[in-house]
Amino acid sequence: MGGADWTRGSGACRSAATATGQPVVLPTITVEDVRRVGLPAAAANVQPAGGDVALNVPVNVYAHAGAVTREVQVLGFPVTIRATPVAFTWSFGDGGSLGPTADPGAPYPAMTTTHTYTRPGTYAVTLTTTYTAEYAVAGLQSRPVDGTVGVASPATTLTAHAGTTVLTR
């Protein structure tokens, strides 16, 4: 877009060739729009795998989530929405929680996001991933979307068992 093709007038840009005095109104994307477009749930991982854990031994949890791009049409304009995971909140089903934290955790041996069960029982572990978003209309500069979107992952069921520690060779 060369400078000769566009002029600035009363707070809006318009083509010099087609200037009619009416500015082009570009769409604004809201957090509700981002929710409607849909963002994926993060993959929630629990170690040890298999659903059985020992009491008083840390359980490692971590999320796999990355930036997401959606292409949509709004009022006839192409719009690119880019959402980025910024926080992770874990609920462990026993009253304990972790987060929101920017740390998605990592597989063993990292153990940066853990929880220790102290009572036997079966618990539902849930993860909520919080995204921020930005959007660009027709390839113009990106603008932030006000607010965040939380996306819940399916619950993982764990059973915490009491046990006896036995050393073996």
Given a cut of 60, is residue 6 above it in pLDDT?
no
- Amino acid letter, residue 7: T
- State the average pLDDT for the chain: 89
Look at the chain and report how many structural domains it folds into. 1
When pLDDT is averaged across residues 147-153 and rounded to a whole number, the result is 97
**pLDDT tens, residue by residue, 113-142:** 999 999 999 999 999 999 999 999 999 999
% of residues, the chain, pLDDT over 70: 88
The range of the structural domain enclosing residue 104 comes to 25-161
- Amino acid letter, residue 54: A
Please indicate, yes or no, if residue 69 is contained in any of the structural domains. Answer: yes
The pLDDT of residue 1 is 39
The pLDDT of residue 169 is 82
Q: Which DSSP helix (H) or strand (E) runs through 89?
A: strand 77-91
What CATH number is associated with residue 77? 2.60.40.10
- Amino acid letter, residue 9: G
Q: 138: how many CB neighbours lie within 10 A of its CB?
A: 12
Please indicate, yes or no, if residue 167 is contained in any of the structural domains. Answer: no
Contact 160, 53 (CB under 8 A): yes
Please indicate, yes or no, if residue 148 is contained in any of the structural domains. Answer: yes
- Amino acid letter, residue 112: T
Please indicate, yes or no, if residue 61 is contained in any of the structural domains. Answer: yes
Chain position carrying tokens 């769409």: 27
Distance of CA 169 to the CA centre of its chain: 44
Name the pTM for this structure.
0.81
Q: Which DSSP helix (H) or strand (E) runs through 82?
A: strand 77-91
Given a cut of 60, is residue 7 above it in pLDDT?
no
Contact 59, 46 (CB under 8 A): yes
The pLDDT of residue 38 is 93
Please indicate, yes or no, if residue 18 is contained in any of the structural domains. Answer: no
